[in-house]
Structure 1
Amino acid sequence: MLSRIARNSLRGVPISRNSAGIARITAVSRKYASTTSNDNGATEVFTKLSDSKDPKRTPFFQYSWGSWLKNDKLMKLQRETVFSIEGLTSFLNDLNKVRVGSKELTAPKENKGAFLLQNNLTDELIGSKSDKLVVNSIASIHEGKHHRIYKVTLSTGKELVLRIPYKIDSKAAIASRIKSEVATLDFLNLKLNLSVPKVISYGVDTENEVGSPFILQEFIEGDLLMKKWHPLDPDSKETDEKLKQVIEPIAKFQDDILNIKFNKFGSLYFYNDVAPTLQAEEPYNGEEDEKLLMRWRIGPSVERQFSKGKNKLSQKTIDQYNGPWDASNSLQVMESVADIELENAKNKLAIVDADAGDVSDKQLLKDQIKTFEHLKTITPKLLNPHSKSIKNVEQLFEPKLFVPDLDPLNVIESKKGNYFIDFESSTIKPFILTSYPNFVSYHGAKVYNLEEDIPGFAEMEPAEKQQYEFMYYKTRNERLWEVELNKNRHDLIAVASPHLKVLKSPYLQALDLKTPKDYLYVEGSIIQLQAMWDAYVANEIVNQDQKDPEFPIKYDEEFLDKHQSDLSDYQMETVSSPFSATGGWIPQDMFETLKKQGIIVETSNGDYKIETEKVLQNPPEGAEKAE
Structure 2
Amino acid sequence: MLSRVVRQRSRSAISSFKLRAHAAFAETRIGVGISVQATRLQSTKLSANPEEIYTKISDSADPKRNQFFQYTWGSWLENDKLKKSHRETRFSIEGVSNLVQELNLTRKDPANVDSSGEPLLQIKPVQQLKDGSFVLTNNLSNKLIGEAQDKDAKLLVKSIASIHEGKDLVLRIPYKLESDYSISQKIKSEVATLDFLSLKLGLNVPKVVAYGDNRSNALQTPFILMEYIEGDLLMKKWNPLAADSEETDASLKSVIQPISDFQDKILSVNFNKFGSLYFHDDVSVLDQADVPYDGEENPLLVNRWRIGPSIERQFAKNKNHLSEKIVKEFNGPWKADAPLSLITSVASIELENAKNRLGLAQADSASKVEDVEVLKKQIETFEHLQAIGSKLFNSKSKSIMNVEELFRPKLFVPDLDPLNVIESNDKSYFIDFEYSTIKPFILTSYPNFVAYHGAKVYNLEEDIPGFTEMDEVEKQQYEFMYYKTRNERLWELELNSRRHDLIAVASPHVKVLKSPYLQALELKTDKDYLYVEGAIVQLQAMWDAYVANELCGSSSSEFPVQYTEEFLDRHQTDLEEYQIETVSSPFAATGGWIPQDMFETLKEQGIIVETENGNYKVEAEKALEEEPEEK
- Report the TM range for the smaller structure's normalisation: over 0.9
Q: How many angstroms apart in 1 are the aligned matches of 2:53 and 2:309?
A: 45
1:514 partnered with 2:524: yes
Which of 572, 579, 592 matches 2:600?
Answer: 592
Alignment counterpart, residue 75 of structure 1, candidates 83, 89, 93:
83
User: Which residue is 1:11 aligned to?
Assistant: 11
- Other structure's SS at 2:428 match: strand
In the TM superposition, residue 603 of structure 1 has moved relative to its aligned partner by 1.7
Matches within 5 A, 1:352-363: 352-355=361-364, 361-363=371-373
Aligned match for 2:145, one of 115, 126, 131? 126
Write the distance in 2 (CA, Å) between the matches of 1:586 and 1:39: 16
- 8 A contact 1:23–1:35 mirrored in 2: no
Moved more, 236-245 or 353-362: 353-362
How far is the alpha carbon of 1:209 from its aligned partner?
A: 0.7
User: Distance between the aligned counterparts of 1:526 and 1:33, measured in 2?
Assistant: 55
Partner Cα distance (2:220, 2:553) in 1: 50
Deviation of 1:247 (Å):
0.3
Residue 490 of structure 1, CA deviation: 0.2
Query: What are the equivalent positions in structure 2 for 1:137-536 lying under 5 Å apart?
Result: 137-140=158-161, 157-355=166-364, 361-415=371-425, 417-536=427-546
What amino acid is the match of 2:382? F
Displacement after TM superposition at 1:135 (Å): 3.7
State the Cα distance separating 1:16 from its structure 2 match. Answer: 7.3
Shift of 1:406: 0.4
Note the C-alpha offset of 1:136.
5.3
Q: Tell me if the contact between 2:392 and 2:553 (Cα under 8 Å) persists in the aligned partners.
A: yes
In 1, Cα distance between the equivalents of 2:210 and 2:370?
A: 47
Shift of 1:602: 1.4
Unpaired runs of at least 5, structure 1? 141-150, 620-627
CA distance in 2, matches of 1:77, 1:23: 18
Amino acid aligned to 1:11: R
The question of 1:577 aligning with 2:600 is answered no
TM-score for both structures, normalised by structure 1: 0.93
Q: CA deviation at 1:310?
A: 0.5
Amino acid at match of 2:592: G
CA offset at residue 103 of structure 1?
3.7
Match runs of 1:34-49 below 5 Å? 34-36=41-43, 41-49=49-57
Distance across 2 between alignment mates of 1:435 and 1:235? 26
CA RMSD of aligned residues (A): 2.1
Distance 1:478 1:393 in 2: 22
Distance 2:483 2:452 in 1: 10
Letter in 2 for 1:424: E
The alignment partner of 2:184 has SS state of helix
> How has the CA–CA distance of structure 1 residues 232 and 128 changed in structure 2, closer, same or farther, with 3 Å as cutoff?
same
CA deviation map 1:138-169 (0-9, x unaligned): 333xxxxxxxxxx777x7x3211111111111
Distance change in 2, residues 1:396/1:133 (3 Å): farther
Q: Percent identity?
A: 63
Who is 1:96 aligned against? 104
> Residues of 1 paired with 2:149 and 2:328: CA distance?
46
Residue 59 of structure 1: CA displacement?
1.3
The Cα offsets for residues 416-455 of structure 1, whole Å up to 9 and x where unpaired, read as: 5111111111000000000000000001111100111111
Q: Would you say the 8 A contact 1:283–1:296 is kept in 2?
A: yes
After superposition, give the CA deviation of every residue in 1:565-615 in whole Å (9 maximum; x if it has no partner): 100000000000000000000010111111122211112221111122222
Residue type at the aligned position of 1:289? N
Report the equivalent of 1:563. 571
Paired residues in the alignment total 604
C-alpha separation between the residues in 2 aligned to 1:117 and 1:554? Answer: 54
Is the 8 Å Cα contact of residues 152 and 161 (structure 1) preserved in structure 2?
Answer: no
- From 592, 602, 614, give the equivalent of 2:622: 614
Give per-residue Cα distances to partners, 1:204-232, cap 9 Å, x unaligned.
Answer: 11111111111111111111111111111
SS at 2:535's partner residue?
Answer: helix
| Structure 2 residue matching 1:424: 3-state secondary structure | coil
CA contact (8 A) 1:510 1:519 kept: yes
**In structure 1, what is the Cα distance between the partners aligned to 2:508 and 2:501?**
17
Residue 30 (structure 1) aligned with residue 37 (structure 2): yes
How many angstroms apart in 1 are the aligned matches of 2:532 and 2:542? Answer: 17
In structure 2, the residue matched to 1:2 is: 2
8 Å contact kept, 2:16–2:419: no
| Distance in 1 separating the partners of 2:434 and 2:141 | 25
Whole-Å Cα distance in 2 between the matches of residues 307 and 269 of structure 1?
17
Following superposition, the deviation at residue 49 of structure 1 comes to 2.2
The residue identity in structure 2 corresponding to 1:207 is S
- Residue identity opposite 1:33 in structure 2: R
Kept in 2: contact 1:345–1:368 (CA 8 A): yes
Structure 1 SS opposite 2:300: helix
**Partner residue in 1 for 2:117:** none
User: In structure 2, what is the equivalent of residue 110 of structure 1?
Assistant: 128
- Partner AA of 1:34 in structure 2: L
Q: Give the TM-score of the pair, scaled to structure 2.
A: 0.92
Verify the 8 A CA contact 2:330 2:348 in the aligned structure 1.
yes
SS at match of 1:167: coil
Letter in 2 for 1:615: A
Does the Cα contact within 8 Å between 2:190 and 2:434 map onto a contact in 1?
Answer: yes
Please tell me whether the aligned partners of residues 135 and 152 of structure 1 are also in contact (alpha carbons under 8 angstroms): no
Name the residue aligned to 1:147.
none
CA distance in structure 2 between the aligned counterparts of 1:533 and 1:75, rounded to whole angstroms: 43
CA contact (8 A) 2:30 2:169 kept: no
Residue 128 of structure 1 aligns to which amino acid in structure 2?
Answer: E
Q: Distance in 2 between matches of 1:511 and 1:278?
A: 26
Dislocated runs of 4+, deviation >6 Å: 22-28, 356-360
Partner SS state of residue 298, structure 1: strand
Aligned to 1:52: 60
Distance 1:456 1:133, change over 3 A: farther
Q: Deviations over 1:483-530 (max 9, x none)?
A: 000000000000000000011000000000000000000000000011
